[in-house]
Amino acid sequence: MKIPLVDLKKQYLSIKEEIVAAIKSVIEESAFIKGKYVENFEKNFAAYIGAKHCIGVGNGTDAIFITLKCLGVGAGDEVIVPVNTFIATAEAVTLAGATPIFVDCNEYYNIDPSEIEAAITPRTKAIIPVHLYGQPADMDEIMRIANSRGLMVIEDAAQAHGAEYADKKVGTFGTAATFSFYPAKNLGAYGDGGAVVTNDDKLAEKIRMFANHGRVGKYSHKFEGVNSRLDGLQAAILDAKLKHIDEWMEKRNSIARIYDDKLGGVVAIPKVLPGIRHAYHLYVIEALERDRLQASLKESGIESGIHYPIPLHLQGAYARLGHKRWAFPVAERVAERIISLPMFPELTAEEVSVVADVVKNFTTATK
Ligand SMILES: Cc1ncc(COP(=O)(O)O)c(C=O)c1O
C-alpha cells in the first residue's frame, strides 16, 4: 500500500464534473483575467470568511507583500513574524523593504505571545501571526498586545482556511489577512493563487489597485504597483471547491481524531488550543528519533514531511540578521522532532490506521 502525504488527484476525481464545467465556462467566455469568475469567487470567499472584502492576487506571498506595502510598511520599519513558518511570511516583509523580527513559537507551534513584547521596538509597525498547520494563533493575546502598542496585525492564514478562534473564522481579527491557494492547501487552486481579506474599505481599494499596476482605468495609473492577479481559471476552480471546504475540514478533523486516539501516549500528538476549530492542514507529531521514523515510514510506502526542518533564523537567507544557534530554543528543538503524517480529506480510516501502526511499532521498538 502506498500512502502519499497529500493526494490531489483523489480530490479532483471526487469533484471532476464540477471542475471540468468550471474550466470550460471560463475558456468559452475567455474570462481569463478579472471578470465574472474572479468577482464571484471574491464575493463568496469574503462571505465564507466573514470579511467585507476579498481581493484575489497571484499567490500567498504577494498577498502579504502587497498588504504590507498598502499599509505603508517599508524601509526602516520592523515587522514581527514567527521563526517557525514557511519563508514566505518573512520574505514578504523584506520584499516590502522592512526587516523581519523573529519570535519563538510555543507548544502549539504558533508565535508565542509572551515573547512578543520583548521584540517590539520604536520601529515596529506590525505583527504577522501565522495560523500554522491550520491551528489559529492565540489571537486574544496577540490583539491585546497589538492594540496596547499601536501595532497593526496581518494574519497569515495561508494554512488555515475555515479555522476558527472564539467562534470566528481566522482572517477576521487583524487589519487584514492573507491566504494562499497553492494546490496542496486546504483550499487549493490548480496553479498559484492567493487573496487578501479585510473589512477596511480604503485598504481594499488600494490593494486592488496595487495588485493591478495601480490602475484606475485601462491605461490610467494612479501609482506604481505590480501585476499580481488571481486568474479566471483559478477563481472558477476555487469557487467550485469552496462549496466542499467545510465537508473537507470535517474529514480532516475526523482523521486527526483517529490519529489522536491511536498515537496519544505513544508520541507527542498535536496540542490544540482550547476553544478553537483546527483546520488540520497538517497533522504534526513529535518523535525523538524523527529521521529514523521517517525512513521506517518510507520503507512501508508512507510519505511524510517536515514542516519545517530549519527555523528561519538559521536559514542562509537570514544570515545577515546575525542570529546564533539556540536564539529561539523552542523552534530549534521542535525542528529536530517534528514530522507531518499523511493528511488529506480523502484518506481512508484504514490508511490512517496503517500509518498510525507503523509509527506505533517503530516507537515501541525503539523504546
Ligand atoms: C504560512 C505560509 N505563508 C505564506 C505562504 C505563501 O503562499 P504562496 O506559496 O501561495 O506564495 C505559504 C505557502 O506556501 C505558507 O505556508
Q: What is the per-residue pLDDT across 55-96, written as a single tens digit (0 to 9) for each?
A: 999 999 999 999 999 999 999 999 999 999 999 999 999 999
pLDDT at 186 over 90: yes
Q: Which residues, in sequence order, are bridge partners of residue 221? A: 215
- Looking at residue 367, what is its pLDDT? 72
Model pLDDT, residue 321: 97
pLDDT range class, residue 1, cuts 50, 70, 90: confident
pLDDT of residue 355: 98
| 158 CA distance to ligand 1 middle (Å) | 5
Largest CA distance in the chain: 68
Kindly tell me the burial class for residue 231, based on how many C-beta atoms sit within 10 Å of its own C-beta (0-12, 13-18, 19 or more). Answer: buried
The protein residue whose alpha carbon is closest to atom 8 in ligand 1 is: 60
Domain 245-366 falls under CATH 3.90.1150.10: yes
Residues 6 or more apart whose Cβ sits within 8 Å of residue 81: 89, 90, 93, 100, 101, 102, 103, 111, 127, 128, 130, 312
Extents of the domains making up the chain? 8-103+110-242, 245-366
For 195-211, write each residue's pLDDT tens digit: 999 999 999 999 999 99
pLDDT tens, residue by residue, 245-288:
999 999 999 999 999 999 999 999 999 999 999 999 999 999 99
Query: How far is the centre of ligand 1, averaged over its atoms, from the C-alpha of 367 (Å)?
Result: 37
pLDDT value of residue 139: 98
Residues sharing a CB contact under 8 Å with residue 206, sequence separation 6 or more, in sequence order:
70
Which stretches within 133-244 are classed as H helix? 139-149, 201-210, 232-242
d(CA 142, CA 156): 13
What residues does ligand 1 touch, defined as CB less than 6 Å away? 59-61, 85-86, 88-89, 130, 156, 158-159, 180, 182, 192, 194
Asked whether this chain's domains 8-103+110-242 and 245-366 adopt the same fold, the reply is no
Mean pLDDT across 133-154: 98
b vs e for 164-195, b when ≥16 Cβ sit within 10 Å of the residue's Cβ?
A: bbeeebbbbbbbbbbbbbbeebbbbbbebbbb
Please give the number of the atom of ligand 1 that sits closest to the Cα of 194: 10
- List the grid coordinates of 210: 496595487
CATH of domain 8-103+110-242: 3.40.640.10
Q: What is the pLDDT of residue 145?
A: 98
Q: List CB contacts of 109: < 8 A, sequence separation 6 or more.
A: 84, 132, 133, 135, 270, 284, 334, 338
- Average confidence score pLDDT of the chain: 97
Q: Is the pLDDT of residue 43 over 90?
A: yes
pLDDT on residue 93: 98
Q: Which atom of ligand 1 is nearest to the CA of 85?
A: 1
Q: Report pLDDT for 27.
A: 98
Question: Closest residue (by CA) to atom 7 of ligand 1?
Answer: 60
Phi and psi, residue 7, nearest 5°: -130, 95
Report the C-alpha gap between 346 and 363 in whole angstroms: 26
Q: Which residue of 59, 86, 111 sits with most ligand 1 atoms within 8 Å of its CB, as the best mutation to test the pocket?
A: 86
What are φ and ψ of residue 339, in 5° steps? -150, 135
Three-class SS of 323-366: CCCCCCHHHHHHHHHEEEECCCCCCCHHHHHHHHHHHHHHHHHH
Span 110-122, pLDDT tens digits: 999 999 999 999 9
Q: Is the dihedral of CA 163, 169, 171, 175 positive or negative?
A: negative
Contacts of 291 (CB under 8 A, 6+ apart): none
- The mean pLDDT of 48-55, rounded to a whole number, is 98
Residue type, 209: M
Atom of ligand 1 nearest to the CA of 92: 4
Please state, for a pLDDT cut of 70, what percent of the chain lies above it. Answer: 100
45, 242 in Cβ contact below 8 A?
yes
> 75, 61, 197: which is closest to 125 by C-alpha?
75
